[in-house]
Amino acid sequence: MQIAEDFDVVVIGGGPGGSTASTLLAMQNHRVLLLERDKFPRYQIGESLLPATIHGICKMLGLSEELKKAGFVRKLGGTFRWGKNAEPWTFNFSTASTISAPKAYAYQVERQKFDTMLLRNAARKGVDVREQHAVKSLLFDGDRVCGVEFVDTDGNTRIANAMYVIDASGHQSHVYKHVGERIYSNFFQNLALFGYYEGGDRFPAPRDGNIFCAAFEEGWFWYIPLSNTLTSVGAVVSKQYVDQLKVGHEEAMNRFIASCPEISRLLANARRVTEGVYGELRVRRDWSYTNERFWKPGMVLVGDAACFIDPVFSSGVHLATYSALLAARSINSILTDEMDEDRCFEEFEKRYRREFRNFYEFLTAFYDMHQHEDSYFWKARKILKTEASMQEAFVTLVAGGSSMGDEELLVDNKKIEQIKGELQVLENVDEDAAPYFSAEKEAFLDVLVEEATQIQTQASVGSKRGAEKPLFENGLIPSADGFRWREATASSTAASGM
Ligand SMILES: Cc1cc2nc3c(=O)[nH]c(=O)nc-3n(C[C@H](O)[C@H](O)[C@H](O)COP(=O)(O)OP(=O)(O)OC[C@H]3O[C@@H](n4cnc5c(N)ncnc54)[C@H](O)[C@@H]3O)c2cc1C
């Protein structure tokens, strides 16, 4: 006979999404079981973080001090060789009016260290964390999800009943299918080939901790300093170039590097790591998608289980931890304050989609601004965008409905043009004349960084939270401590103009 245990919430997956959600629930005294298939530390890509994760979410999780001591590389912003300008240009988080100066940085992290820190913290905060426990299926009461079936370390099949299940199992697992279909983007259809290098060069301080993104003929590179000597390097190319990997990953990577002068220069004296967890050249593809729904009765999706767009502006961990916060807020409100499930999860989904859409539109504009018309990769992005949008609009229209997912993939072209204009002004900054942005450029930077980091302020919750406006009609607002939802007062609703 199978052993059954009872919990308030079962969380599937111990990445940043799962750890964050489970911790924020346990901190409100709920009984939480987190099941993680692997043994931590385990490898994961996604090393460049945003300030919202560090100063918003990690602060709520009680991790600020531990993070400071961990010795991760400080990231003050991003440096880009992108668009018309042959010279690299830089944006700093500090130029966003929404981010206070002391918090205008994030970290570049070795994910196995960062994720383990989050997972161990979850256990300390009262989550029942079980590694090497893989969820095999969901339990249902009618249409409602009410638990999971999983396999423990000894290979025994067991059951955990729960009021709620959070799927934070990332891009690989198929649990999400119980909630809805995954809709892949027509615009972002790339693959990445990536590895690790010792001894790569650094930009001069204060840019030495920045992520560097360099466009080249077939796509673009990321160059992320993980320590004084270790660098994560990845080539993102259109999946049409998949044949170029046939020569072998090593050869393909060397060819990509050779065709990108900036990355070649930075790696001139470096050697690729060939042993240990960083010793492999890895490939990832099919990462740009959104699920048509993010919840169903008894269950929510967070992080990569729900959606991901593209690595260029480091939105992955941020969207994972932010959605985890929204999910935890909702479940805390339902379990503690007996708030209505539909209402809470609708607020969760609307806010999550809003941020996904903001990034999607921003990233579409960012890709679209690239001027190298002669390159197939960049030309294809433009063509795909136009055709995909019209095609999707048409199909959505004639199909007589617009699912949430379809709407997500229909981008707001007017907004994209506006963002693109702002980006092009930024990109034309003469770095020699103004190595660290001159005051007159800051207005544009503000808009840029605000788009890219808008969520930082939303996720960023201090001990005191000022009066807030609902984001949507009849919407909810976060409680003062950020752990739950509460009803908007008449005055906050009036202030929002609703
Ligand atoms: C090429 C590339 C580059 C990227 N670069 C960045 C970047 O620079 N910055 C950034 O922020 N993001 C980046 N990302 C995105 C980032 O990797 C993800 O968004 C992030 O890891 C999502 O976190 P998560 O918690 O949702 O999922 P994950 O980190 O994938 O964690 C999911 C966990 O669930 C576990 N699991 C899976 N199935 C089961 C099961 N059945 N039972 C139990 N456990 C299970 C897995 O073992 C895993 O530990 C990048 C992505 C790609 C593809």
For the ranges 110-119, 236-245, 291-300, the lowest mean pLDDT is seen at 236-245
Q: Is the CB of 312 under 6 A from ligand 1?
A: no
Q: Each residue of 336-347: b (16+ CB within 10 Å) or e?
A: eeebebebbbbb
Reading the block at residue 327, the tokens are 């999910």
Nearest to 47 by CA among 298, 178, 233: 233
In this predicted structure, the answer to whether residue 410 has a pLDDT above a threshold of 60 is no
**Residue 381's pLDDT band (cuts 50, 70, 90):** very low
For residue 273, the tally of other CB atoms under 10 A from its CB is 17
- Of all atoms in ligand 1, which is nearest to the CA of residue 305? 26
- The Cα 463–Cα 343 span in angstroms is 25
How far, in Å, is the centroid of ligand 1 from the Cα of 317?
Answer: 8
In this predicted structure, the answer to whether residue 437 has a pLDDT above a threshold of 70 is no
Q: Is the CB of 195 under 6 A from ligand 1?
A: no
- The Cα 57–Cα 64 span in angstroms is 9
Task: Concatenate the DSSP letters of all residues of 88-99 into one string.
Answer: -EEEEGGG-TTS
How far, in Å, is the centroid of ligand 1 from the Cα of 45?
Answer: 7
Contact of 365 with 423, CB cutoff 8 Å: yes
Query: How confident is the model at residue 89, as a pLDDT?
Result: 82
Query: How confident is the model at residue 449, as a pLDDT?
Result: 46
Residue, of 239 and 333, whose pLDDT is higher: 333
Task: Concatenate the DSSP letters of all residues of 316-350 into one string.
Answer: HHHHHHHHHHHHHHHHHHHHHH---HHHHHHHHHH
How far, in Å, is the centroid of ligand 1 from the Cα of 347?
Answer: 24
Query: How confident is the model at residue 96, as a pLDDT?
Result: 61
Query: How confident is the model at residue 441, as a pLDDT?
Result: 41
**Residue 361's pLDDT band (cuts 50, 70, 90):** confident
Residue, of 333 and 482, whose pLDDT is higher: 333
How far, in Å, is the centroid of ligand 1 from the Cα of 168?
Answer: 9
How far, in Å, is the centroid of ligand 1 from the Cα of 11?
Answer: 15
For residue 174, the tally of other CB atoms under 10 A from its CB is 9
How far, in Å, is the centroid of ligand 1 from the Cα of 71?
Answer: 22
Query: How confident is the model at residue 3, as a pLDDT?
Result: 78
Contact of 469 with 493, CB cutoff 8 Å: yes
In this predicted structure, the answer to whether residue 380 has a pLDDT above a threshold of 50 is no
In this structure, which residue's CA is closest to atom 26 in ligand 1?
A: 303
Residue, of 373 and 215, whose pLDDT is higher: 215
Contact of 105 with 76, CB cutoff 8 Å: yes
**Residue 372's pLDDT band (cuts 50, 70, 90):** low
Q: Is the CB of 328 under 6 A from ligand 1?
A: no
Q: Is the CB of 17 under 6 A from ligand 1?
A: yes
Which helix (H) or strand (E) covers residue 39, if one does? none
In the predicted model, what is the mean pLDDT of residues 78-93?
81
- The Cα 385–Cα 22 span in angstroms is 38
Q: Is the CB of 112 under 6 A from ligand 1?
A: no
How far, in Å, is the centroid of ligand 1 from the Cα of 118?
Answer: 13
Query: How confident is the model at residue 446, as a pLDDT?
Result: 47
Q: Is the CB of 35 under 6 A from ligand 1?
A: yes
In this structure, which residue's CA is closest to atom 41 in ligand 1?
A: 135
Query: How confident is the model at residue 452, as a pLDDT?
Result: 40
> What's the pTM?
0.87
- Of all atoms in ligand 1, which is nearest to the CA of residue 171? 30
In this predicted structure, the answer to whether residue 407 has a pLDDT above a threshold of 90 is no
Tell me which long-range contacts 25-30 makes (C-beta under 8 A, separation of at least 24): 25/127, 25/328, 25/331, 25/332, 26/122, 26/125, 26/126, 26/127, 27/125, 27/126, 27/483, 28/328, 28/332, 28/335, 28/336, 28/483, 28/484, 29/126, 30/331, 30/332, 30/335
- pLDDT tens per residue, range 37-69: 999 999 999 999 988 889 889 999 999 999 999
Q: Is the CB of 225 under 6 A from ligand 1?
A: no
Peptide bond into 206 cis (omega under 30): yes
In this structure, which residue's CA is closest to atom 29 in ligand 1?
A: 15
Reading the block at residue 228, the tokens are 């004084």
For residue 412, the tally of other CB atoms under 10 A from its CB is 14
Q: Is the CB of 38 under 6 A from ligand 1?
A: yes
Mean pLDDT of the chain: 83
In this predicted structure, the answer to whether residue 33 has a pLDDT above a threshold of 80 is yes
- Of all atoms in ligand 1, which is nearest to the CA of residue 134? 42
In this predicted structure, the answer to whether residue 74 has a pLDDT above a threshold of 90 is yes
In this structure, which residue's CA is closest to atom 31 in ligand 1?
A: 15
Residue, of 224 and 97, whose pLDDT is higher: 224
